């Protein structure tokens, strides 16, 4: 470190040398390096005074060898030398490696040939033969020529050759080491023969008992193996030369760049430049400390000396001896990186950044930069406070009001404020706010309302409560608290003014509410409170109370402004939730009023249902169970696209239309066609109305889905059609589930263009017919196929009642927060007992009417319905007579004893009879009039074969006085 300081001129007397000494030294150097400068004093002074550009012009007049003395030239020579050394080392290493590989390859080849020949079949027998040479010499020569080795010699265990490439040497002793081979080992050795450096291997020949009966040796010269590698040496040297050339070019580029960056300066000029940098280092208003690896101060600029009041001989001494603050001293000698750490220096606050200098091969030690931040600390404290306050309010906007639920939003306010602003928080709202209405007694304005002079208490509901502990004696959630007029909560609600109670034990107004509880609150440590009214859109909805217990400081004015801003943001969210609650309640009320409240009485199906409106807005889902003539029942389920009041109102119109069309006893496909036309007309009317009002377009129905099914308990057949609706599910009595995906699906209602189709299937008694809307099976994170699989699993349990099935389905598929309405109908099929059905075919002859009346009277007597026999005979007599007179083909009569007595007369005519009032002079026209008078209901329905005229009569009470059916 001492040499480095002497070179840069940082140490003691050298830095304080006079300008005359520096000028003399520079002149001496200049006279040595530039011959032209010795000619005159004026040239020397011109060189001393000129800038960098003048020195460049002078350097052009220097001798050619001068360029190597520059920093860039020295770096160029050094880099070229290093590259040349690396290339030479690489070439030498490759040559040595090639020779090593050649020798290893020679060993492997000689060993392989010797082992192969020694282990050849019949080798041991040939060795023991009468003339081994005659048997082995041809084989040895063939093996030698085929393998490319120099010789293959077979010999006895005493080293006498049996074979040799030179026949003159056969029978002579083998020139090599065979002791190890005679003992059963393989011997490989390197020797120098007549052909040069060679490798030979000696392998024993073993008989079946493992005894050595002979030896085989194979040898090869290394140059034969290394010939291929030697042929590649010119290419290797060429590549090395190319690499050297490329490296030289790259080094030349580096040289040029470095020369431009150093401006061609030599070391002496670089030293002068560092001296100038040293002057700048001591002029900046930022302290710099350089510490060596052994903990000694190497450099301290003037600003660092001033900040720490260092002595003049501080450089070179241990840091621990210079009076630094312990934390600062520990940082300077630790070597750990630090950025803007705050340390003290007397009464000053310093921002210290510390970095080690031994990274990337630098000298051991560290450097620290210092800034005096004393004056900035007070300002930064205010900035931190404002930043924390803004962050608190920003986080509150994200955390409060995540749902459109009044209670949940109030609880979010309480939970967020705890631990960030207060220790305990309570939110008290008016009951009308929880119902979605506006409070009537709160302050309406910005400066107050009616006050509390009338002495009436202020009732508020404890809606939210949160704190750091649960055992504090505060009013519990849900309690209706009647605050006295002097209580801060009552004052804030009625006047809209914030109330601050710095010391609760000194304030008497809040203690009037409940003195015993007030004492318990103070005893548990709560000592300060702020009550802020929840004001939104000019109306006070309630109050929020912030209390402190753990933090000893009372609330101050700065806390009041923060509490007001926090509550103001929460109040808007609570008011939005209140308005949504009101709108949602109105929509749900309208929707439920349009849906069936009780199911009609009928015996064909055992029906259970579930209806759940969406949590974020009601939709247009609906269902219905409609009794039809002939003991049949219609099941309807539908879904209007969209949410809100418009969808709910449209659902009500569609449900009414379905009821009206059902009274016509139309098949399912025709009913869907009529609904499709109805929606198209509704859209057209609303569009014209909106244009007339200047809206440019109104809210139109973009579609609705519907599934209409009719079940007949007499035939056990179910007829259904659907318009864009999910397929129904049929659960057999054994629990197997089948989705009717083959049921033809038409387009959603309102789109038009394609007809609807009807499908018919037969259902066993006790089957479950399941109708539903897509809100049950579809979620944002679950597709319809998965939902249908889950529905099938929930339905596949035999023996359940419809009510149990509905509960099981909702438990399995109901989402936590439904985003769409859910309608579900589960209907278990029944059949009408055969003994309650009577069926006759009537010939088309008037004389058959009397016989039919007698047969009907007998069946009614069997059913114990003699009280209605006369009227029934009259009704059937009129209907059969009309069928015989006006219709053609076979006539059938059917009686059904269900919840009412049903009479049906069918024929093949499609002409419908009409009720009319006959004049006193008319001989006919009174038949249907009599039928309508004696029957409770009557009507006509059309079939594929013709029509059916039906009537219904109320059953008389049974003998025990109970109603039948």
SS3 675: helix
Min mean pLDDT across 144-153, 402-411, 440-449, 954-963 is at 440-449
State pLDDT tens for residues 332-386: 888 888 888 888 887 777 888 888 888 776 788 889 988 887 766 655 555 666 6
- For residues 548 and 504, give the distance between their C-alpha atoms in angstroms, rounded to a whole number: 10
Q: Give dist(CA 399, CA 392) in Å, integer.
A: 10
Neighbours of 63 (CB within 10 A): 9
Q: What percent of the chain has pLDDT over 70?
A: 81
Nearest to 895 by CA among 942, 918, 862, 933: 862
Question: Tell me, what's the pLDDT at 97?
Answer: 75
- Which of 49-63, 382-396, 603-617 has the weakest average pLDDT? 49-63
What is the model's pLDDT at position 904?
92
Average pLDDT over residues 941-947: 85
Instruction: Judge whether residue 53 has pLDDT over 50.
Output: no
* pLDDT above 80: residue 640: yes
pLDDT score for 598: 82
Residue showing tokens 């704190």? 467
Q: 427 with 413: CB under 8 angstroms? A: yes
Helix (H, G, I), strand (E, B) or coil at 101: helix
Residue 65, pLDDT > 80, answer no
Q: What is the per-residue pLDDT for 29?
A: 34
405 SS3 class: coil
Q: Is the pLDDT of residue 443 over 50?
A: yes
Report how far residue 950's alpha carbon sits from residue 46's, in angstroms, rounded to the nearest whole number: 132
C-alpha 744/C-alpha 722 separation (Å) is 7
**Statement: the pTM of the whole predicted model exceeds 0.75:** no
Q: Residue 394: pLDDT band by 50, 70, 90 thresholds?
A: confident
- Mean pLDDT, range 816-822, rounded to an integer: 81
Beta pairing class for 717-723 and 745-746: parallel
- For residue 588, give Cα distances in angstroms to 578, 597, 621, 706, 873: 15, 14, 12, 21, 50
Q: Is the pLDDT of residue 965 over 90?
A: no
pLDDT greater than 70 at residue 701 = no
- Within 10 A of 242 (CB to CB), how many other CB atoms are there? 11
The token pair that represents 74 in the structure block: 């020295």
The secondary element (H helix, E strand) that includes residue 351 is strand 348-356
- The secondary structure of residue 149, as a DSSP letter, is -
pLDDT score at 64: 41
Cβ pair 657, 670 in contact under 8 A: no
pLDDT > 60? residue 791? yes
The pLDDT of residue 386: 65
Alpha carbon 692 to chain centroid, angstroms: 48
d(CA 45, CA 57): 15
User: Any idea what DSSP says for residue 509?
Assistant: T
Query: Is 292 buried (19+), middle (13-18) or exposed (0-12) by CB count in 10 A?
Result: buried
**pLDDT reported for residue 673:** 93
Average pLDDT over residues 827-851: 89
Q: What is the arithmetic mean of pLDDT over 171-188?
A: 86
> 249, exposed or middle or buried, with CB in 10 Å at 0-12, 13-18, 19+?
exposed
pLDDT of residue 133: 87
> What confidence tier does 814 reach under pLDDT thresholds 50, 70, 90?
confident
pLDDT at 609 over 90: yes
For residues 745 and 362, the model is more confident at: 745
Per-chain mean pLDDT for the chain: 80
Q: Tokens 């025990």 map to which residue?
A: 960
Say whether 612 sits in a helix, a strand or coil.
strand
Between 270 and 903, where is the model more confident? Answer: 903
At 516 the pLDDT is: 84
Model confidence at 707, pLDDT cuts 50, 70, 90, reads very high
Check pLDDT > 70 for residue 329: yes
Residue 569 pLDDT exceeds 60? yes
Higher pLDDT, 551 or 68: 551
CA distance 189 to 875: 131
Residue written as token pair 């081994």: 132
Give the length of the chain: 965
Q: Up-side HSE of residue 576: CA atoms within 13 Å toward CB?
A: 13
The stretch 857-874 carries a mean pLDDT of 88
Question: Is pLDDT of 608 > 90?
Answer: yes
485 has pLDDT over 60: yes
Q: What is the pLDDT of residue 120?
A: 86
What local confidence, expressed as pLDDT, does residue 585 receive?
78
Measured CA to CA, the distance from residue 647 to residue 650 in angstroms comes to: 5
What pLDDT does residue 37 have?
33
Q: Are 801 and 607 in contact (CB under 8 A)?
A: no
Tokens of 829: 């099929």
Q: Which residue has the higher pLDDT, 268 or 718?
A: 718
- More confident of the two residues 746 and 587: 746
The predicted pLDDT at position 126 comes to 85
C-beta separation of 567 from 544 below 8 A: yes
What is the structure's pLDDT at 26? Answer: 40
Cα radius of gyration (the chain): 55
- Alpha-carbon torsion, ordered 339, 344, 350, 352, to 10 deg: -20
The DSSP bridge pattern shows strands 900-907 and 947-954 to be: antiparallel
Poorest-pLDDT segment among 524-533, 577-586, 613-622: 613-622
Q: CB of 950 within 8 A of CB of 941?
A: yes
Identity of the highest mean pLDDT range in 53-67, 112-126, 709-723, 903-917: 709-723
The pLDDT, as a whole number, for residue 625 is 94
pLDDT class of 583 with cuts at 50, 70, 90: confident
* In contact, 423 and 459? CB cutoff 8 Å: no
Q: How far is CA 66 from CA 60, 71, 72, 891, in A?
A: 10, 11, 12, 133
Give 857 or 79, the one with higher predicted confidence: 857
Q: Single out the residue of 770, 825, 829, 767 nearest to residue 599, CA to CA.
A: 825
pLDDT of residue 230: 62
- Give the residue, 686 or 143, on which the prediction is more confident: 143
């Amino acid at each position: 470190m001492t040499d480095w300081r002497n070179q840069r001129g940082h140490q003691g007397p050298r830095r304080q040398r006079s300008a005359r000494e520096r000028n003399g030294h520079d002149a001496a150097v200049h006279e040595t390096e530039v011959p032209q400068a010795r000619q005159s004093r004026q040239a020397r002074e011109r060189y001393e005074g000129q800038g960098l550009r003048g020195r460049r012009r002078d350097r052009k007049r220097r001798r050619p060898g001068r360029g190597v003395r520059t920093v860039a030239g020295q770096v160029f020579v050094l880099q070229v030398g290093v590259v040349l050394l690396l290339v030479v080392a690489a070439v030498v290493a490759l040559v040595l490696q090639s020779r090593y590989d050649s020798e290893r390859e020679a060993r492997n080849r000689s060993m392989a040939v010797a082992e192969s020949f020694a282990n050849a079949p019949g080798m041991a027998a040939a060795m023991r033969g009468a003339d081994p040479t005659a048997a082995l010499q041809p084989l040895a020569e063939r093996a030698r020529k085929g393998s490319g080795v120099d010789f293959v010699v077979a010999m006895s265990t005493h080293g006498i050759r049996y074979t040799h490439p030179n026949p003159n040497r056969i029978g002579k002793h083998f020139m090599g080491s065979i002791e190890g081979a005679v003992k059963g080992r393989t011997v490989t050795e390197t020797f120098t023969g007549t052909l040069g450096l060679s490798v030979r291997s000696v392998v024993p020949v073993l008989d079946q008992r493992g005894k050595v009966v002979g030896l085989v040796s194979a040898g090869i010269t290394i140059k034969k193996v290394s010939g291929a590698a030697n042929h590649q040496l010119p290419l290797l040297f060429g590549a090395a030369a190319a690499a050297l050339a490329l490296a030289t070019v790259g080094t030349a580029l580096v040289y040029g760049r470095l020369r431009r960056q150093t401006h061609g300066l030599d070391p002496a000029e670089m030293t002068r430049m560092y001296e100038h940098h040293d002057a700048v280092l001591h002029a900046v208003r930022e302290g710099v400390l350089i510490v060596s690896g052994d903990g000694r101060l190497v450099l301290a600029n003037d600003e660092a000396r001033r900040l720490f009041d260092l002595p003049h001989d501080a450089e070179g001494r241990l840091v621990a001896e210079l009076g630094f603050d312990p934390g600062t001293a520990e940082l300077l000698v630790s070597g750990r990186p630090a950025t803007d750490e705050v340390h003290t220096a007397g009464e000053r606050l310093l921002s210290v950044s510390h970095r080690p200098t031994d990274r990337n091969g630098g000298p051991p030690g560290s450097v620290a930069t210092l800034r005096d931040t004393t004056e900035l600390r007070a300002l930064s404290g205010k900035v931190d406070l404002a930043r924390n306050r803004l962050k608190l309010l920003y986080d509150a906007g994200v955390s409060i009001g995540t749902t459109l639920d009044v209670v949940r939003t109030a609880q979010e306010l309480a939970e967020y404020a705890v631990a960030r602003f207060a220790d305990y928080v309570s939110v008290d709202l008016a009951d009308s706010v929880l119902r979605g209405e506006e409070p009537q007694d709160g302050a309406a304005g910005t400066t107050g309302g009616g006050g509390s002079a009338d002495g009436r208490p202020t009732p508020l509901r404890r809606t939210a409560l949160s704190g750091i502990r649960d055992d504090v004696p505060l009013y519990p959630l849900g309690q209706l608290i009647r605050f006295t007029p002097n209580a801060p909560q009552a004052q804030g609600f009625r006047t809209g003014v914030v109330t601050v109670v710095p010391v609760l034990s000194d304030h008497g107004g809040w203690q009037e509410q409940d003195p015993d509880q007030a004492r318990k609150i103070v005893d548990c440590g709560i000592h300060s409170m702020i009550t802020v009214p929840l004001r939104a859109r000019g109306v006070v909805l309630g109050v929020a109370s912030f209390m402190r217990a753990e933090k000893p400081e009372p609330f101050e004015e700065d806390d009041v402004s923060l509490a007001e801003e926090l509550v103001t943001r929460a109040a808007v969210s609570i008011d939005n939730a209140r308005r949504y609650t009101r709108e949602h309640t109105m929509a749900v009320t309208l929707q439920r009023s349009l849906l069936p409240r009780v199911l009609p009485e009928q015996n064909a199906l055992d029906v259970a249902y579930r209806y759940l409106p969406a949590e974020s807005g009601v939709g247009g889902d609906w269902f219905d169970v409609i009794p039809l003539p002939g003991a049949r029942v219609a099941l309807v389920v539908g879904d209007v696209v969209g949410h809100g009041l418009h969808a709910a109102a449209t659902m009500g119109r569609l449900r009414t239309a379905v009821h009206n069309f059902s009274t016509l006893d139309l098949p399912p496909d025709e009913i869907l066609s009529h609904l499709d036309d109805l929606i198209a007309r509704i859209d057209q009317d609303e569009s014209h109305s909106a244009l007339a009002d200047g809206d440019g377009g109104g809210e139109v129905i973009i579609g609705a889905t519907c599934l209409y099914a009719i079940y007949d308990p007499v035939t056990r057949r179910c007829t259904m059609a659907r318009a864009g609706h999910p397929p129904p599910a049929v659960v057999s009595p054994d629990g197997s589930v089948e989705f009717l995906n083959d049921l033809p699906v038409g387009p959603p209602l309102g789109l038009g263009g394609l007809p609807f189709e009807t499908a018919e299937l037969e259902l066993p008694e006790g089957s479950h017919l399941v109708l539903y809307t897509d809100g049950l099976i579809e979620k944002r994170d679950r597709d319809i196929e998965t939902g249908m699989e889950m529905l099938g699993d929930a339905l596949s349990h035999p023996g359940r009642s419809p009510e149990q099935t509905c509960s099981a389905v909702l438990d399995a598929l109901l989402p936590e927060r439904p985003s769409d309405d859910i309608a579900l109908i589960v209907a278990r099929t029944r059949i009408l007992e055969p003994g309650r059905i009577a069926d006759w075919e009537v010939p088309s002859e008037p004389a058959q009417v009397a016989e039919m009346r007698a047969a009907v009277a007998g069946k009614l007597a069997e059913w114990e319905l003699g009280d209605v026999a006369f009227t029934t005979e009259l009704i059937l007599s009129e209907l059969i007579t009309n069928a015989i007179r006006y219709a053609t083909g076979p006539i059938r009569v059917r009686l059904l004893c269900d919840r009412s007595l049903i009479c049906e007369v069918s024929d093949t005519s499609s002409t419908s009879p009409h009720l009319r009032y006959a004049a006193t002079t008319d001989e006919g026209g009174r038949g249907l009039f009599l039928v309508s008078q004696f029957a409770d209901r009557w009507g006509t329905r059309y079939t594929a074969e013709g029509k059916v005229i039906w009537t219904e009569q109320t059953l008389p009470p049974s003998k025990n006085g109970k109603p039948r059916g």
